[in-house]
Amino acid sequence: MAAVIPTGDRRNIFVVPWGDHTYLGTTDTDYAGPLDDPAVTEADIAYILGAINAVLTDPLGPDDVTATWAGLRPLLAKAPGHKAPSERTADLSRRHRVLVADDGLVTITGGKLTTYRKMAEDTLDAVGRVLGRKLAASPTRRLRLRGAEGAAALAKPGAARSLGTTDTLLEHLVHRYGGETPVLLGLIEDQPELAEPLVPGLPYVKAEAVYALRYEMAQCLEDVLARRTRSLLLDAAASGDAAASVAAMAAGELGWDDDRTAGEVTRLRDFVVRELAPLTPRQPAPAPELPDVENVSVGGREQS
């Protein structure tokens, strides 16, 4: 079960189970660095571990962390119905707001991933008003996501046996792909080795990489290991170790030459090194050489 741990500074740490892993977050702090690649810092890790260790009898340390990730959320400094902006990002509204400039430019800001449909609907409504005509009613409230159709039938008892697979693999694939699962099972039927783990120790299978490359527009290793599967977010080191085998699959699907394949592996492994850097204990600086005298002065106090 998931849990919410309040911190001493009026923030919350969320504890969410994810298969055999558990993820902890967030820091919910202001950010002023590059927007393209926000990174988890040593301070972020120390904060989250400190907050969770306050309620654990068996404390966690950096060695227990298998991966990190960071993201940025656009927050409204002052949203409708809220008081003056706070200095704390944790106090800012998570709601979105649609703005229309004098020249008709429609802008949406704020919001969050889980409300993306409502955000799109409100934006298009504003566009309709700018155009001076009523747009067709949005179908989003009734529109089912890809994979919804047929998913229920795949969860019925005996479905795995009739499809020639295991209950464990079928449950995993249905949870991720819903009614698209037979496509992946078809890949495995043609090439049984695609039922092997994509990254050892994680639940994803190689067929998922092929599916991502053929049908989900994956174009690089990071697409496969971070954005189509979540291998990098669960175990960065293991994903780095598997980079060469995944790159070989991608090369066959996308026609990469040897240079492109090697470059993808290098970039992915460099990414892993950067992601795990905040978890690597720093080596202490070498002790300075002291003068060859019997007494030295430290802080104005004589020592021998």
Which CATH number applies to 3-64: 3.40.50.410, 3.40.50.2000, 3.30.9.10, 3.40.50.720? 3.30.9.10
Whether the predicted pLDDT of 298 surpasses 60: no
Instruction: Provide φ and ψ at 274, rounded to 5°.
Output: -65, -40
Residue 267: both structure tokens together: 């970039």
Residue 131: burial class (beta carbons within 10 Å; 0-12, 13-18, 19+): exposed
Higher pLDDT, 304 or 244: 244
**Which pLDDT band, with edges at 50, 70 and 90, does 89 fall under?**
low
Looking at residue 127, its pLDDT comes to: 95
CATH architecture of 151-278: Orthogonal Bundle (1.10)
Residue 114: both structure tokens together: 């889980």
- Among the listed residues 65, 37, 64, the one whose alpha carbon sits nearest the alpha carbon of residue 222: 37
Higher pLDDT, 55 or 85: 55
Model confidence over 96-126: pLDDT tens digits?
999 999 999 999 998 888 899 999 999 999 9
Total count of residues recorded for the chain: 304
CB 61 within 8 A of CB 50: no
Looking at residue 288, its pLDDT comes to: 41
Looking at residue 225, its pLDDT comes to: 98
Q: Which amino acid is at 234?
A: L
Give span(s): CATH 1.10.8.870, the chain. 151-278
Q: Which amino acid is at 274?
A: R
